[in-house]
Amino acid sequence: MPDLPNLANLDYVDRVNRAIDHVLRHLAEPLPLEEVAKVACFSAFHFHRIFRTIVGETLAAFVKRVRLERAVTELSHRPDATLTEIALACGFTSSSDFSRSFRAHYGVSPRMFDVQRFRATRREHMQNTVMPPGEGHRLQRLPPGENPDDFVARLRELPPRRVAYVRVLASYDGGGRGVLGAVERLRAWAEPRGLTDRQWLGYQWDDPEIVPLDRCRYDVGLEIPESADVAGEVSTVHFAAMRVAEIDVAGPIELEMRAIDWLYTTWLPHSGFAPAHQPCFEAWNGGPFAHGMTHFELRLQLPVVDMDAPL
C-alpha cells in the first residue's frame, strides 16, 4: 500500500475497503464503476484515480482479475461444474466471454488449464518467499489422505458477526511486518474502547496458490458490537451466519499449513461440502501472535456450503 501521510487518506483507505468488500460480495453481478464508486461515497471520476492509487490497479482490472482467480478456485474444487456455470458464477456474461478472458490472462483455455500444476508452482514460490533460505521444504504440501497430526474437523454454525479490521494489501511483503503493523494499529484503536478481549481474527481473501503474492490481501480483524463507532483506517464488515469446518492448531507455521492442506485435500473432497466464497479464518486464542511468530494458538475455520449448492 502506498504511504498515506494524513488523516484524509486514512478515510480514503476505509472507503476503498468498502468498495473492495462490495465487489467480493457481488462478483457474479455487473459492477459498473458508478455503482462501486457510490458504495465508497466518491464520484466516479475521483474514485477511479483513488482506487488505482491505493490498490495499484484500476477497478476494471481488479474486478476481472478477481473473477478469473475465483474461477480457478472453482476449477480446483468443483470439477463437475460446467464452464457455463463457472462463468456465470464469476460474473462473466457467457462461457465464451469467460474463455476469452481466461486465455488472455493465463495463456490457455480453461479446458486446457492444468490447475494442479499451476497451484504447485505457486505453492513452491510461496514456500521460498515465506521461509528463510533453505527452509521452504517445511511448508511442503501434505499429501492427500495423510494426517500425521491426527487433525479432526468439527462442524460449527457461526452467528452473524460485525468485524473491525485493518487490511494489508501486500501481506507477504516485508516478512510479515505489514501484518504485525496492522495488529498494532487495530489494538491501538481497540484498547481505549475496551474491546481487546473480544475475538481476534486473521483472514486472507486470496489463495497464494492462485493469486500472485503481491496481490494477496490479509485482514487483521476483531469482532465488535454493533454499537462500536468505527472510522478512519479501521474498517468494518458484516459476515452473515455461516457453517465452518474447524480445526485446533497449536504449533509452528508448518503445522498450520498442514492443517489447511488436510482440510482442503483430504477432508473436503469426502465431506459433501465445497468451500464457500469466504476466507478461511484464523480465530486466535487470545490476541494474534500472542506467542510470537513461531508458535500459533488458534482455530482454523473454513467456511463451507453443501456441494450441490449453487456456485
Query: Model confidence over 256-269: pLDDT tens digits?
Result: 999 999 999 999 99
Strands 161-168 and 235-239: antiparallel
Q: Which of 193, 173, 168 is nearest to 288 (CA)?
A: 168
pLDDT, average across residues 175-194: 90
pLDDT digits (tens, 9 = 90+) for 75-113: 999 888 999 999 999 999 999 999 999 999 999 999 999
Q: How many CB atoms lie within 10 A of CB 3?
A: 5
Reported confidence tier of residue 3, pLDDT bands at 50, 70, 90: very low
Using the predicted structure, report yes or no on whether residue 126 has a pLDDT greater than 60.
yes
Domain made up of 7-112: CATH architecture: Orthogonal Bundle (1.10)
**pLDDT higher at 7 or 53:** 53
- What's residue 2's pLDDT? 45
**Residues 193 and 228 sit within 8 Å (Cβ to Cβ):** yes
C-alpha dist (Å) from residue 167 to 14, 172, 218, 253, 271: 9, 13, 6, 21, 32
- What's residue 6's pLDDT? 45
Using the predicted structure, report yes or no on whether residue 8 has a pLDDT greater than 80.
no
- What's residue 4's pLDDT? 44
- What's residue 194's pLDDT? 95
Q: Which of 63, 68, 53, 204 is nearest to 126 (CA)?
A: 204
Q: Which of 127, 214, 179, 133 is nearest to 293 (CA)?
A: 179
Q: Measure the CA–CA gap between 96 and 289, rounded to whole angstroms.
A: 46
Q: 248 in helix, strand or coil?
A: strand
Reported confidence tier of residue 23, pLDDT bands at 50, 70, 90: very high
Q: How many CB atoms lie within 10 A of CB 195?
A: 17
pLDDT, average across residues 197-214: 95
Q: Tell which phi-psi region holds residue 124, choosing left (phi > 0), alpha (psi between -120 and 50) or beta.
A: alpha
Question: Which cell goes with 293?
Answer: 511468530
Q: Where are the domains of the chain?
A: 7-112, 154-306
pLDDT, average across residues 31-54: 95
- What's residue 188's pLDDT? 94
pTM (whole model) above 0.85: yes
pLDDT digits (tens, 9 = 90+) for 49-60: 999 999 999 999
Main-chain dihedrals φ then ψ at residue 255, nearest 5 degrees: -70, -40
**Residues 149 and 259 sit within 8 Å (Cβ to Cβ):** yes
Q: Does the domain made of 154-306 have the CATH classification 3.40.50.1820?
A: no
**pLDDT higher at 6 or 297:** 297
Q: Which of 65, 61, 13 is nearest to 206 (CA)?
A: 65
Q: Measure the CA–CA gap between 49 and 44, rounded to whole angstroms.
A: 9
Question: Which cell goes with 187?
Answer: 489494538
The mean-pLDDT minimum among 18-32, 37-51, 98-112, 127-141 falls in 127-141
- What's residue 277's pLDDT? 92
Reported confidence tier of residue 293, pLDDT bands at 50, 70, 90: confident
